[in-house]
Chains A and B, each alone.
Chain A
Amino acid sequence: MKSTSFKCTCIISQHSPGHVLACTSCSRICSLIQFHLFQIDSHLKFPNTNEINQNLKHTIPFYLTAEQSFSWLIQSTLSKCHVTSLLLFFSKLQTSLRPISITSTMSFKTAAKRGQFDLDRYVGNLRVKTYKEFAKHSRLPTIPAPIPTLRKDERLIGEAPIVAGDLAYIVSGKHKGKISRVLLYTRDNDTVLLNEVTKNVVIPKQYWAANQTSHVLEYPVPIPRKFVRLAAKEKDEKGNVSYVVAEDLVFKEKYYDDRLKRWVPRRFVKHHENIEIPWPSPMSEPKDDQYSTLTEDVYNKTHELQTVAKSPFPKSVLNELRNPYSKFKKRELTEGQARRLNAPQMPLSVEQKIYLAKKAQTPVKKLEPLSEEAKDLIGSRMAEHLAKIKNPLLLKHLEAVSQKTTPEFQRVLNEIEGKQD
């Protein structure tokens, strides 16, 4: 067991407009922090870098992984960087010291993962507490707390029963009995955001959206899916509106929905399978942006095979397409490889040589068919013996036994016959 840790020393120098971060051992980690500092700098334009230097020590030794530093980076950029937050950033770095221990057989990647924060390792109330503690950094204090994400094995698999655009009937809580439109369904924590379940939230001016005019914003509150049921509007011939609320759903055969541009199953109310609840149209049409491929580009044929004589691909690409090192490919031994695999033989000792020489001199034993005399002798002896037996059952038994041949006997017989051929 070999234990090593990566000690990074940050030095904040004053000579540049940004703050240059130098690292004694690990450039990768420091470059991230450097990036972070540059971000702060470009955003805020520190009037005086000495301000930082007075508060910070010139060198800050700390231990951290790249992921850790990155998460701190995100958090502190969210909470509007200024000098105090920067100080907070460094103080947090110092408090979250974590030496990375690497065993000799372990890769750095594996070792770095070992002590890392992973929410899936927490269960029950501890999971909720930890999640909330971490979520604090990513939102304003006025915004409603998110519901902890589910463990991977607890998450819903398959088609979501409720999607954005559906109507939902609230069955429990303060808003019980309301029918509202679903804004968003989140699979990670199995919650829905509803149109009518909102909370007034005060938003600082720096976080205002593009067309926001007030400090107060209606912010949807997440509700667990178990507190809502899927509802559908129904209009009869007279124009009366009624709602159908489905306690549970069944999915049936799939069809291609042109609005959603994908294959979806039809959904019916369980135990009332004549009532189909159609999928809602998407809330907003997808818009083209700078990264989207145009339809005409998709149908435009850009490559055509011109001749069989010339390969359509450059030769260097072929190895990438057909992996020559694939384990599924059968490979043959070369002469050199075969020779290397074969171990040398132990030389024969003097005694062994003598024994083999003697063995070579002795003639090989030949199997030959029995002579007539021998056959007569055996026959007469057997007849003598059989004449003595009076028990008919024993005679019957011997008769049966004589019909059987053992494989060894058969082999000898074959050998004799084969030699005669």
Chain B
Amino acid sequence: MNFLRSFPCVPLAAPTTSAQTGLRTLSSSAVVCGRDKYFKISKYARPIDTTVYQAGDDVPRQTIPADGHKYPKYAYEPMFFKRQNRGLYAGLQRRASNLCSESGNKTKSFHLPNVVKAKLWSETLNKLVCTRVSTTLLRNVDREGGIDNYLLKEKPARVKTIGIKGWQLKYDILKQKELNERSQGSDVPIYHILESGKKITATKEKLLELLFPYVYRENYEPISQKSYLRDHSWLTMEELVVKLEERGFDFSEITV
């Protein structure tokens, strides 16, 4: 493999020579070095539930999460070697082989991926991500130029090998990117843009807090914070803004 790496990058568009000298194999092998190994993962992943539930549907068998799902569902979670859910393993799993004696007795032996602890700097999140990683991932991250680029690559192989941890980081990064894009040219982060063009600088939690006194007053009996959140915490930013607008809320303090 190493001697293949030492070859200079051969241009792919050389149809005349490739057939004769086998250059094509050489050039593709150079690509193989950085290829994500995902074949096992796609084989051993369970299908996820992609049903979009609506009010009035039958209650499904699965338990309803109390606070809802925080992250999107990941379709390539393998059914074994679960520690890869907690780190960035680049799709590496435990491999098995047989030690074969001269008399033909086979002894199973297992090979774990080379895993180290690492702190990776995320440009978008502006913080260190401390996880266990496989050394293969460190090489891949170097090649991609940072953990963000590594995670945000959209090739199917990359999506399959980043694992749950990577998938969640990816979601965080993309959300942060959206936020950054929205609040460009502003000193404070902008969480929502109203139809009128005004930009809301309050988080969803803050909006919920602002709505609470209105809902409290509307109810005949006093309601607790808990029951209020049970009925309102799942509302989207847009819906909360609409609710506040209906009640004549003055947005001047939380808009730019």
List A contacts of B73 (CB < 8 A). Answer: 343
Give chain B nearest CB distance to A323 CB in angstroms: 16
> Is B216's beta carbon under 8 Å from chain A?
no
> Is A387's beta carbon under 8 Å from chain B?
no
> Is B192's beta carbon under 8 Å from chain A?
no
User: Interface range on chain A: under 10, 10 to 19, 20 to 34, or 35 or more?
Assistant: 20 to 34
Contact B68–A340 (Cβ < 8 Å): yes
> Is A351's beta carbon under 8 Å from chain B?
yes
List A contacts of B62 (CB < 8 A). Answer: 341
Contact B69–A346 (Cβ < 8 Å): no
- Give the nearest-CB partner of A334 in chain B: B55
Contact B231–A336 (Cβ < 8 Å): yes
Q: Using an 8 Å CB-CB cutoff, how does the interface string of B145-180 with A read, 1 for contact, 0 for none?
A: 000000010100000000000010011001101100
Residue in A332, A339, A343 whose CB lies within 8 Å of B56: A332
Q: Using an 8 Å CB-CB cutoff, how does the interface string of B55-88 with A read, 1 for contact, 0 for none?
A: 1111110101111111111000000000000000
Which of B62, B68, B71, B230: most chain A Cβ within 10 A? B68
CA distance A221 to B208 in the complex (A): 82
**Which A114-130 residues have a C-beta within 8 angstroms of B?**
none
Given A338-B53, A340-B68, decide whether A347 and B175 contact each other with a Cβ distance below 8 A: yes
CA distance A344 to B236 in the complex (A): 11
> Is A382's beta carbon under 8 Å from chain B?
no
Contact A347–B152 (Cβ < 8 Å): no
CA distance A345 to B71 in the complex (A): 8
Given A343-B72, A351-B154, decide whether A331 and B59 contact each other with a Cβ distance below 8 A: yes
> Is A335's beta carbon under 8 Å from chain B?
yes
Given A347-B174, A352-B154, decide whether A339 and B58 contact each other with a Cβ distance below 8 A: no
- Give the nearest-CB partner of B57 in chain A: A333
> Is A272's beta carbon under 8 Å from chain B?
no
**Which A28-54 residues have a C-beta within 8 angstroms of B?**
none
Contact A332–B57 (Cβ < 8 Å): yes
List A contacts of B152 (CB < 8 A). Answer: 349
Chain B residues proximal to chain A, CB less than 8 Å = 52-60, 62, 64-73, 152, 154, 167, 170-171, 174-175, 177-178, 230-231, 234
**In the A-B complex, the 5 residue pairs with the closest CB atoms:** A343-B69, A340-B68, A339-B234, A335-B55, A347-B174
Chain A residues proximal to chain B, CB less than 8 Å = 330-347, 349, 351-352
6 A-B interface contacts by CB (under 8 A): A333-B53, A337-B59, A338-B54, A340-B65, A343-B72, A347-B178
